[in-house]
Structure 1
């Protein structure tokens, strides 16, 4: 059963395409008004238009999640358009185009770039919208981490470390925002077949198939249930947790 998000306002970062667009369409389908944020402003507008064409309400925003001023403007725009906010989905992430290298060969500038988007970004976005969530007297923050943190995926130290930081940030924010009735949880996907992941390796479409309990590739839609659950009232007494969604691969 899909959680009922009618009357809720949800902000999703990194939603110009891929997993973020999948989330945006799913949240709208559950009744939410959706603010679509992405550094790719045109892509954000496209996602918002898809939602409107399906009969939903959406706002497309160009946002650099690693820039404080940009995230504060994002919060102002959401308030102006929808009057408030009920949930933030911190999905924006650097993933596509990252070269897999031994940690000794990663350029420090690239390391800082990845950390700026993948870890600083969720912090800045949460910081910017917390006043809106507090005004509601409750709220939800859902951070998208990665199952690579559990496996220690080699040759990707910058990405894995950034997502490990997201899990740690999730627990800290849960403790700090509990008094406000705001829950903070994380979803850690396995290798998911998006446009970004398909460009990482030649065998991306079959990568990991047969290595988990479920013998098929992971699709973006496989993450929808976890994200909707953590953003809804169904998870009202769950906070500080990380849910791995990888078809059982980490348990084998």
Structure 2
């Protein structure tokens, strides 16, 4: 499937060096979009080869985000789409919330919650230059699962969902749409410390669809939300979880 207008759009994808983020960038490039791949890891240069431009950025740092905006302005002159995917998750050690250190809490919040706010704020002048801009914030259905073990992650993604709704109202006057793509367990080449094999099988058994989810299960929806085909859709949270939970 192809979506309207993506072949003329400039789209930024954060957290794009591997896993789901790289999958988003690959799908958008396949749709014809000009893609700027962003990650704090130098691996982004290899990941972006044949896909788009590579940018090493710390999404939690205002100066780094401002430098990204300046580079994109110089290179493209505008931004039509922003996919805020960068987050800390796969390396988390599951533990009771009272064992989470302040340092771990603050780092996760800086990337997962402050990051989308900073990047979107920095990109706003470029988004306003677009005729039909769209922002997609990546959430997590763990927010609605009451799942124990990583309260800081759940709290950060709950904040992302709330931020989307407020952003959609603040940016609507500029014709900029903002939605949350919220997903359940998705498995990629990235090793996950947060889920044991037994936990993985238990979650699959709870789903309506008894199979694992992969990046391809998300990338089509992301492309749709960034395309002109979703031009009247904003302020929404759309879940992709194989029927694990229902809103």
Q: How does the TM-score come out when normalised to structure 2?
A: 0.95
> Within 2, Cα distance between the matches of 1:169 and 1:251?
21
- 1:141 partnered with 2:135: yes
Q: 1:11 to 1:166 in 2, by over 3 A?
A: same
Aligned partners of 2:91 and 2:192 also within 8 Å: no
Aligned partners of 2:18 and 2:190 also within 8 Å: no
Q: Give 1:71's aligned residue.
A: 65
Aligned partners of 2:23 and 2:216 also within 8 Å: yes
> Within 2, Cα distance between the matches of 1:207 and 1:192?
14
Aligned partners of 1:24 and 1:47 also within 8 Å: no
Q: Provide structure 2 residue ranges, at least 5 long, that are not aligned to the other structure.
A: none
- 1:119 partnered with 2:119: no
- 1:47 partnered with 2:42: no
Secondary structure of residue in 1 paired with 2:54: strand
> Within 2, Cα distance between the matches of 1:130 and 1:64?
18
> Within 2, Cα distance between the matches of 1:207 and 1:79?
47
> Within 2, Cα distance between the matches of 1:246 and 1:27?
21
Secondary structure of residue in 2 paired with 1:195: coil
Match of 1:59 among 46, 50, 53: 53
Aligned positions of 1:147-166 closer than 5 A: 147-166=141-160
- Note the C-alpha offset of 1:211: 1.3
Aligned positions of 1:184-223 closer than 5 A: 184-196=178-190, 198-203=192-197, 206=201, 208-223=203-218
> Within 2, Cα distance between the matches of 1:245 and 1:235?
17
- CA displacement, residues 173-214 of structure 1 (integer Å, 9 cap, x when unaligned): 000000000000000110100234544334176452221111
> Within 2, Cα distance between the matches of 1:206 and 1:31?
37
Q: Root-mean-square deviation (CA), in Å?
A: 1.5
Aligned partners of 1:95 and 1:196 also within 8 Å: no
How many residues align? The count is: 245
- Note the C-alpha offset of 1:96: 1.8
Match of 1:231 among 217, 226, 231: 226
> Within 2, Cα distance between the matches of 1:195 and 1:96?
11
Which fold has the larger relative contact order, with Cα–Cα distance below 8 Å and residues 6 or more apart in sequence?
A: 2
> Within 1, Cα distance between the matches of 2:138 and 2:152?
16
Q: Give 1:14's aligned residue.
A: 15
> Within 1, Cα distance between the matches of 2:25 and 2:202?
26
Secondary structure of residue in 1 paired with 2:48: helix
Q: Provide structure 1 residue ranges, at least 5 long, that are not aligned to the other structure.
A: 52-57
- Note the C-alpha offset of 1:122: 0.1
Aligned partners of 1:19 and 1:194 also within 8 Å: yes
> Within 2, Cα distance between the matches of 1:81 and 1:131?
14
- Note the C-alpha offset of 1:249: 0.7
Q: How does the TM-score come out when normalised to structure 1?
A: 0.93
